[in-house]
Chains A and B, each alone.
Chain A
């Protein structure tokens, strides 16, 4: 009897310990799970996916008994659109992964952001598998090429956007240049107009300068002739040269 009571105490102790640990851990896990589902998704709603699935489950319009069947070709196009959006998201994930990892190691971003990111990555994997399956169901072996096509579509969209952007800038440039050229031309014409009347006085002024120079020359000749009086022919010759 004494033994039993003596044994019961350590067992009760162990029981309480394990029980409290178990409740704590289950509560903690539940809270964590709730938190991760409550996390904001990395990406916004996947509209193309919603469109595709809505087309699969198209409801009859009011007044109609049966919904118009959606032709396969439309479903295929919708799936392709969905795949292009997936490619965009994969690219975004790839670009974000390394910097995010670095920031996490430095402690610049919280663990929550990283959890959101990992969840998005996992969801994308499932999404890709899903699209490949759907593609194979719609056309044999399409699953092998649908993402290649989708990738080119994304790249092509980028190319055309860039071209349109630069050409648009070019048009703005052209308008600027048209104005600039017009103003240069009008300035030039003005200068021409101004130059014409100015030219004669300018010529006269330069003539005046010339005559000044001549005067200096003559003067220069003057002292020389002064220093050598009697040599009148020299001065005369100079004048004649003029």
Chain B
């Protein structure tokens, strides 16, 4: 098997260099190939550079978006809905930039950058009282950045409480306490949920 292969009916477009095939089962593979070709063809030597060292330009842009978003949220006292919406917009740009990194750049960097941005956007959604979106963003943040992310655990817990999903919130926060250790805010939220559930069951 080592020296043999299955010859596939491929054709190349002389102008665009796009590969296509009559065999429709190859379609997804060929789309991936053509997309990758478009991304790599502009690289030096037409191959992806090694994952490290990383070009700091995009990281700087992402950080700028985050800081602007933070500034919008923290202007004075409790942020107004308009300020929260502005922060959401800025964080969304940052998330798009973080997830839009070329696919060969370190996935760990993407996880960290996007993880923080999702946690921040969750906060902004909470400020705008958009609990469902906040819950989803906080969960995404936790998925991306497991360690040292107690805030995101707390935010989803809070959002679930606000939506009246106390049982889900209890399960989520309990899990969060296991992973994130005994974070004070999280423990307080757990107590609050327990109190509510006890009251509800009586």
Chain A contact residues, CB within 8 Å of chain B: 41, 45, 47-51, 53-55, 57-59, 61, 68, 70-74, 76-78, 80-81, 123, 126, 138-139, 142, 145-146, 148-150, 152-153, 155-160, 162-163, 166-167, 169-171, 173-174, 176-178, 180, 184
Contacts and interface: CB of A to CB of B under 8 A. Distances in A.
Contact of B40 (A45, A80, A174, A184): A80
A152 B50 CA distance: 10
A68 to B, nearest CB: 5
A159 B146 CA distance: 13
Contact of B51 (A149, A166, A173): A149
Contacts of A152: 51, 103-107
A34 to B, nearest CB: 15
B40 A58 contact: no
A209 to B, nearest CB: 27
Chain A facing B: main interface SS:
helix
Nearest to A130: B2
Interface residues on B, range: 35 or more
A150 B106 CA distance: 10
B36 interface: yes
Interface of B: 1-2, 5-8, 10-12, 14, 17, 19, 26, 29-30, 32-33, 36-37, 40-41, 45-51, 99, 101, 103-108, 110-111, 114, 131-133, 135-137, 139-140, 143-144, 163-164
Contacts of B45: 139, 142
B110 A156 contact: yes
A155 B107 contact: yes
B5 A180 contact: no
Given A76-B47, A162-B143, 4 more contacts: A50-B8, A73-B17, A81-B29, A184-B164
Contacts of B8: 50-51, 54
